[in-house]
Amino acid sequence: MCGGGGCGDSRGSKPGGTGGSGGGGNGGFNGTSTAGTANTGGGSGANGFSSGSSLNGGSGVIILSVPTANYSGTTTGSPTITTSGSNTIIRFTASGTYTA
């Protein structure tokens, strides 16, 4: 059985698969799995048993790259603001807005 992360073993005799590089959780067996990594949007690992439950997927992230000359500085929430070369990078890991 596979989810957004690794696969789970329905026989409960082998470890589940490893989550993907995008933050997916590991698959489980014997009723275990791991959650997706925060701020990656990765899915939870699948649980191998129909009676068990899998965990939450990782929260998402939004990254905007705006030419610094055009950056308005108008944001809500708590984004992380950095610069890279001639661009301003705006990284949201929770609710927020950017107004150009």
Q: Domain residue spans in the chain? A: 1-59, 62-99
Residue 42 or 19, more confident: 42
Beta strand 80-84 with 97-99 is unpaired
| Predicted structure pTM score | 0.59
pLDDT over 90, % of the chain: 34
- For 12: left if phi > 0, alpha if psi spans -120 to 50, otherwise beta; the answer is left
pLDDT tens profile 37-63: 777 666 666 665 555 565 666 667 889
SS3 call for 8 = coil
Beta strand 80-84 with 87-92 is antiparallel
Alpha-carbon distances, residue 16 vs 7, 32, 44 (angstroms): 5, 9, 12
